[in-house]
Amino acid sequence: MIKFVLPAQSFSIKRSEQNKSEFHVRSSALMREQQWYRLKISARNAAARDYLATGKTIGLGQNENFQTIRCVERLKNGVALCFYRTSSLKTLSLAGYPNGDEAELCFTVSLKPIVSVQAIFHMMWHVAMNAEAAQQRKSYIFRITRARQKRSGWEHAKYKLIQTYQPLLQHQLKESDQYVSWVRDKEPRYFEKSKLSETKLRISYYQLRELDPQRLSDHEWIIIKRNDTVYRESLPSFLSSHFSKENQLIYWDHDYLNSDNARVLPQFKPNWDPTLLLHTNYIGSAFAIRGDLLKSILTQKPTSHYELLLSCLSLEPKKVQHIPLILQHQQPELEALSTHELKAIKRVAPDLYGNSVLIQEIEHHVLNQAVASISVDPKERPLVSIIIPTRDSLELTRNCVNSVLERTSYSNYEILILDNQSTEPDTLSWFKAVSKHEKVRVIRYNHPFNYSAINNFAVTQAAGEYVCLLNNDTEVIAKAWLSNMLCEALKPNAGCVGAKLYYADDTVQHAGVILGLWGLAGHSHKNFSRFEAGYQNRLLCPQQYSAVTAACLLVKKSIYQEVSGLNEKQLTVAFNDVDFCLKVLKRGYQNYWTPHAELYHFESKSRGKEDTPEKKERESKEVEFMKLAWCELLESDPAYHRHLAKNAEDFSLNLEFTDS
């Protein structure tokens, strides 16, 4: 348990009902706008000091924003964070992360306004200390910040500094409470642009307990209302406008009402995703269902909206419609998954995973009880060929290979090390030694570096029914990583499967690829803490993504060959994984990502930076190729939402108006 001690005259504190390691703090006086703050959290007992000594920290939440931002500064007996507010800070939440024991952790909390110069100094000093620890130049951040200030002004310099200090704070320089701004400035324009149909569907409202199959008509649409929900008056018109004859289920976005009746926490939802829905109710109660489908479901006697939705998992995407607008507001949902809901998940999970996967156990997720943790194991044991390209980089490659050999519970695999012209004697000596292991083969690839060509060649040498592309700068964390990826790959119609990758500081490097970010593609939830639930609990749930990174990617060998592998000509280094995944998607397969395959990724250290004129020119050509080849898909990713930012990887809001 974690305990925080705050100044009594300034704050009141309340423990979260969902997460016993999270506290909500309310200020007795509104804090100033346009203000820098420094949050300092100090350990008060030995257990708290031990907690921090393991590398864990405390996360900060502001007002009702969903993000929990890690305190990144390490002090002698505590942690700290500098942050900027454009609007007043009324409430903050403080969250600890799992510490594996029941010891009470006690901390003292200090929150003080500071001036801009102090904030800049604290941030630069933190970045400098990190650089020194990584054996890099300590003075670099001071010099580059000064150069940026001279060239483009302090606002630009501060933005770039925060990007290094704590990237999740970048948007706060412009707008701390994005949703307030979005509701005021952007939402009205979307409703004004919407074209509403004059024809009206037959819509009926019922409480869940009032549902009676004998009273329902096959072609009417049923909304199962909640007492605490406010529906937008134009909801029926939007249903009529987005309806198609094939639809059996229509859902829309919603938000929540706080204690002041203000709108908070918008739920901008992805398109229909049965895998995500199996693990958490991302749709909520914001849906309408056609009468004939509802009548067939009522034979199961559902006790909640979620139970009812679970009976719809087998619906084809064309039978489900998503309206990307907020059409209802409701009180926050704090309940854990009920026993009935866990049983319903157990009933429908085998249909989703198919006959090749064993559903072992279903329980509440340790980090959030609104999420189901589903333990799975492959019934089949196909051989998996793990392909690891490398050129020298002995320390990285040896660490990667050893982590696979020592921490992989799934036993039927082989490792193919692709030696791309290594020359260092120690590396060559290790290749000779490690190739004696029964699971390891070292294969020489004596051609210039071409990531796509190396992997394509390796696949021709692979004996496995499945191939796993794995970077040499990764390290296995969770022993069930490969079996969990294989369970997703064994699903009917499965294509590529990706893993959850972390930087060395336990922040997320990859949790699925989102198309359209930065004009091409970016990583979901980048820089979030390893222990955070993420937007709509998505960091905790297996789900569909259009693409995943090839730093750790599992796919059936026959599918790899069916789409002709990675593009060796136009995409020799970058974006070949995104292109590959989209080729798989185009063939009708579905790509997945799972958080239950966890690895560290030290991100292309053996290749160096893309900073030479030749590398920059090559990358520019690769970007242009991707934009021409996949322009339509890049416009709208089904796993994302038009109201979420295209220039960030943290699910912040898009404050630019778009007609699409």
Q: Given 134, 167, 200, which residue is the final one in a domain?
A: 167
* 147 & 210 share domain: no
Residue scoring higher pLDDT (136 or 101): 136
Contact 217, 202 (CB under 8 A): yes
Give how many domains the chain has, as a whole number: 3
Q: Is residue 158 part of a domain?
A: yes
Model pLDDT, residue 8 = 42
Which residues span the domain enclosing 79? 11-167
User: Residue 636's closest CA among 109, 271, 219?
Assistant: 271
* 360 & 393 share domain: no
Q: What is the mean pLDDT of residues 201-220?
A: 91
Q: Is pLDDT above 70 for 560? A: yes
Residue scoring higher pLDDT (76 or 19): 76
* 384 & 366 share domain: no
Model pLDDT, residue 648 = 94
* 367 & 389 share domain: no
Q: Is residue 4 part of a domain?
A: no
Residue scoring higher pLDDT (122 or 259): 122
Domain with residue 516: its CATH number is 3.90.550.10
| C-alpha 316: how far from chain center | 24
* 484 & 618 share domain: yes
Q: Which residues contact 352 (CB under 8 A, 6 or more apart)?
A: 274, 275, 278, 313, 491
> What does the mean pLDDT of the chain come to?
91
Model pLDDT, residue 31 = 66
Q: Is pLDDT above 50 for 319? A: yes
Tokens of 391: 């050129």
Model pLDDT, residue 607 = 40
Tokens of 165: 């200090």
CA distance 63 to 17: 17
* 237 & 348 share domain: yes
Would you give the DSSP letter of residue 529? B
Q: Is residue 92 part of a domain?
A: yes
Residue showing tokens 């999740």? 168
Domain with residue 218: its CATH number is 3.90.550
CA distance 643 to 659: 11
Q: Is pLDDT above 70 for 4? A: no
Q: Is pLDDT above 90 for 200? A: no
* 156 & 201 share domain: no
Q: Is pLDDT above 80 for 659? A: no
* 147 & 220 share domain: no
Q: Is residue 499 part of a domain?
A: yes
Q: What is the mean pLDDT of residues 609-633?
A: 86
Q: What is the mean pLDDT of residues 252-266?
A: 94
Give the count of beta carbons closer than 10 Å to the beta carbon of residue 184.
Answer: 9
> What is the dihedral angle through the alpha carbons of 298, 302, 306, 309, rounded to the nearest 10 degrees?
-20
* 364 & 297 share domain: yes
* 319 & 458 share domain: no
CA distance 496 to 551: 12
Model pLDDT, residue 660 = 53
Q: Is pLDDT above 80 for 657? A: no
Q: Given 144, 167, 190, which residue is the final one in a domain?
A: 167
Q: How confident is the model over 485-525, as pLDDT tens digits?
A: 999 999 999 999 999 999 999 999 999 999 999 999 999 99
Q: Given 346, 371, 396, which residue is the final one in a domain?
A: 371
Model pLDDT, residue 455 = 98
Model pLDDT, residue 302 = 87
Q: Which residues contact 174 (CB under 8 A, 6 or more apart)?
A: 86
Chain length of the chain: 660
Model pLDDT, residue 7 = 53
Q: Is the pTM of this model over 0.85?
A: yes
Q: Is 22 helix (H, G, I), strand (E, B) or coil?
A: strand
Tell how strand 466-470 and strand 384-390 pair up: parallel
Tokens of 82: 């500098």
Query: What angle (nearest 5°) sits at the alpha carbon of residue 334, between those of residues 331 and 340?
Result: 115
Confidence of residue 19 (pLDDT cuts 50, 70, 90): low
For 512, list phi and psi in degrees, rounded to 5. 105, 150
Q: How confident is the model over 147-187, as pLDDT tens digits?
A: 999 999 999 999 999 999 999 999 898 899 999 999 999 99
* 356 & 388 share domain: no
Q: How confident is the model over 458-468, as pLDDT tens digits?
A: 999 999 999 99
Q: Is residue 494 part of a domain?
A: yes
CA distances from 63 to 22, 30, 71, 263, 411 (A): 14, 11, 17, 12, 48
Confidence of residue 94 (pLDDT cuts 50, 70, 90): confident
* 70 & 194 share domain: no
Choose the weakest-confidence range: 26-40, 83-97, 301-315, 593-607.
26-40
Tell how strand 494-502 and strand 590-601 pair up: parallel
3-state secondary structure labels for all residues of 452-497: HHHHHHHHHHCCCCEEEEECCCEEECCCCHHHHHHHHHCCCCEEEE
Q: Is residue 324 part of a domain?
A: yes
Q: How confident is the model over 394-414, as pLDDT tens digits?
A: 999 999 999 999 999 999 999
| H runs (alpha helix) in 515-610 | 557-562, 576-586
Q: Is pLDDT above 80 for 101? A: no
Residue showing tokens 């990826």? 485
Q: Is pLDDT above 50 for 87? A: yes
Q: Is pLDDT above 50 for 11? A: no
Residue showing tokens 């190729």? 625
Q: Is residue 173 part of a domain?
A: no
Q: Is residue 659 part of a domain?
A: no
Model pLDDT, residue 86 = 93
User: Residue 228's closest CA among 335, 138, 100, 369?
Assistant: 335
User: Residue 580's closest CA among 462, 459, 484, 473?
Assistant: 459
Q: What is the mean pLDDT of residues 583-601?
A: 98
